[in-house]
Structure 1
Amino acid sequence: MRLTRSQAKNHELAMELVDADRDLTFEEKEFVLDHYQPSASTRQALDGAFFTPRSLARTLAAHDIGCDRPGERIIDLGAGIGHLAFETVHDRDRELLNLPLGEIVCVEKNPEYVRVGRRVLPEARWIEGDLLDVPDMGLGEFDIAISNPPFGAIPRSRDAAAYRPRQFEYHAIVTAARVAKRGVFIVPRDSVHGAEPSERTAAYKRFTQATGIRLNRWWGDADEWIDEWGSVRPRVTVTTFDRPETMRAAA
């Protein structure tokens, strides 16, 4: 996508903040999150990277990710520059109730995104690596895995599922279930159901039969945010899942 003059200028200002030799203020971190343009990188299309709209991330943090006790561990798989993780850490209810996270880990394979993410969310542990390799990283168990993973039939380094679905998001979900008790994911609507909520797709049926993971469709379509994704207009939904007992022993 070709950037407008205003977008290009704000992206340039955001990168000046990223490169500044000092800590950023909260407002400056928000400016970077709002104005860094992934389409300025030629790898965006190759990586399937489209950052979560901040208003959607904020809603998720408040209603689906919110922890019940202090000290919980959260991992963000395919964190980008940290939109979802940032809103999770700075969720207003969490701060008002004094329920700080025990740890938040952000895994992202794009080194440029990791560099930016470390500036906007320095309190997170940033790992530059493939999210599919997380079960082999020795990170321990997490309470919640969150993710807006790449969608669809994009190249991957390995298989995570017991069978080989084409959709990358299914491999990300299995990876999450291997390291976390619960997952909160943004996925394409068709990964969860067909044209009607009662219609499960053949791909989903094969996935749940092979893995035992059942995806809960809490929201319906997240069309409220469809115009906030930049150069794309994805039809997505938010799904949650609990790790099945059959995977618990192996986690």
Structure 2
Amino acid sequence: MRRLRDPKTGCEWDSVQTFATIAPYTIEEAYEVADAIARDDMDALADELGDLQLQVVFHARMAEEAGYFTLDDVVDRICSKMERRHPHIFGNAAEGGHHLWEIIKAEERAQDPDKSALAGVALALPALERAAKLQRRAARTGFDWPDASGPRAKIDEELAELEAETSHDRKLEEMGDLLFAVVNLARHLNIEPEAALREANRKFERRFRTIEAEPGFNDMDLDQMEELWVKAKAAQSA
């Protein structure tokens, strides 16, 4: 990466990149890792993990050039964090686990000048994932329904409000509220909404490609397409 970033002898593309221009690739590579795992493709996973690791190297090299930190600093910090959050393994704590991890994370967040329970929830997270994380943080304060019936009723309420609106701006707002309520129900059912939607996307794509391959598809009306869809759904669910 040092050679690629050299302004005189390096790659003309790599040498002009910034944190901001590389960040979208970092996010994309993380999702490609998740996709390889979902497909249980270990060969692809090895490739995608390498691509993701390159993103860490890329950012660290740019930071070193600017005098911020080095790749060694990055590794040292995560090692220190893992040791700090596992005192039952690396220290003298008698017990540990996820509960202790959360307590230590909360203590670390207490040092943040932003004292909100929602502090540190990254704005760059995908919207569904960020909604779930905001809800989990709020729930730790006691601001949560006791069971799934609350968010389920909220979905009906938000759907009715969406249907009652006439302006596009208000529909946009109500659609957001409806999606937020759906995320809340997923959280109460211990379902990751981002993972659920990814699976729904895969399922839709698989079924659509099946019916799209049928002879004469482009000349069919909606009823004919729907008939093919039902057949594809039954075949792929069997």
Relative to the length of structure 1, the TM-score reads 0.27
Write 1 or 2 for the structure with the bigger share of helix.
Answer: 2
In our comparison, the structure showing a higher alpha carbon Rg is: 2
Relative to the length of structure 2, the TM-score reads 0.28
Where relative contact order (Cα < 8 A, 6+ residues apart) is larger, the structure is 1
Write 1 or 2 for the structure with the bigger share of strand.
Answer: 1
